[in-house]
Structure 1
Amino acid sequence: MPRHARGFDTAAAWDHLQRRDRRLGTWMKRIGVIEPEPRWRRPFDPVDALARAILFQQLSGKAASTIVGRVEAAIGSNRLHYDTLGRIDDAALRACGVSGNKTLALRDLAAREARGEIPTLRQMAAMHHDEIVAALVPIRGIGRWTVEMMLMFRLGRPDVLPVDDLGIRKGAQRVDRLSQLPTPKELVARGEKWGPYRTYAGLYLWRIADFSQEAKAATNRSQD
């Protein structure tokens, strides 16, 4: 069974995309080399990351970080798992600022972890990224996009393209000079040219979508 390393050779990805897509390649040269590897080397706990992704949903990075800090203080741990979350009841979670829906999502995640339904990092290393998506999207509050962000930024999988992401679609629209946003289905077809480095292409599409905007201050995200 093949094992998947965390991260990939960005120089190889650069060369591949330059050869395969002249339009994207021109933009890549304009932006410069993107080096995301340090994030792939950080310690990573899938259950904790999923819990934080739930807490960060639909909130600004600052607001979400505040709520996460309250939860950590309430459970006496910076590790969000079924055992530590079990130290706090629903009312206390609400007092930390966690919504009812997010509380239900955290409880579902914890219950699934306790039943052994959440793949460990070691198990994920032997799984195709589509298998990881299939294993995690049944969790309440976890959608495909959330798992794709984990695959790209924490597991360093080289060939993931979140075709439903608005920034990705805007970037592709700009590269191809389209009058309208490409549909997810059209983007799947467009991405065939970028494989097996769709992840690296996606990093550039996000930059391209925001290229005309002034740099913004960095905000905390659940996958940071």
Structure 2
Amino acid sequence: YRPDFLFSFYYRYMIPQAVLDLAPRGALNLHGSLLPRYRGRAPVNWVLVNGERETGVSLHTMVAKPDAGGLVDQEPVPVAFEDTAFTLFRKLEAAATKLLDRSLPLLLENRAPSRPLDLTAGTYFGGRKPQDGRIDWTWDAARIYDLIRAVTHPYPGAFTEWGGGPLYIWWALPVEGPCAEPGSVTAVTRDGIVVACGRGALRLITIQKGRDPELPACALARLEGIEEGTRLGPTGDQR
């Protein structure tokens, strides 16, 4: 069997050249970034981790090197401040539909463009692991927020340490706060737990201690005795 075209949509593995060669009219991949930026693995997550304001989808020919073949088409997507990896992926799905509606007829008519990618102008990122979600409280609040939204549900989550184990932070927002040691709790209100960062502060909204149920941050603070002066991070539950 020799298909006219071969398409790869978010397939995790490299396809052997012998398989690519089966499609005489082209083997094409849909990648979740604006190539040549964010070549490689987990582009949706990396875009958010790095605080980008725009991404998109790219249709390109497949070659032996990952995400390096000729570019057929792209569709940009704005990244909103409140986007998570899940909501951004949904936006990219819609953009992919638009791109394919535009490109497939051109491919069938042999009129689709293909321009070389300048890989020297791009970036490449590898896969992510659960431990990559560890929070460093010396970072700016905005950077920590970007990490949280990049790995919140359905991904493994951003986390810090508390009480001898992980404290997962499923949602939070950067806020203004008093100058204090990074990782120190500066306030506990019904709106959440405010934690000092290297610059600014973060209001924790939904959190989870280990494998316990997720709770509003204020509720878990009452249960666990988290209060002003509590330290989160490698130092644990110091006060």
Same fold (TM over 0.5): no
Larger radius of gyration: 2
TM-score (norm 1): 0.28
Pick the structure with more helix per residue.
Answer: 1
Larger relative CO (CA 8 A, sep 6+): 1 or 2? 1
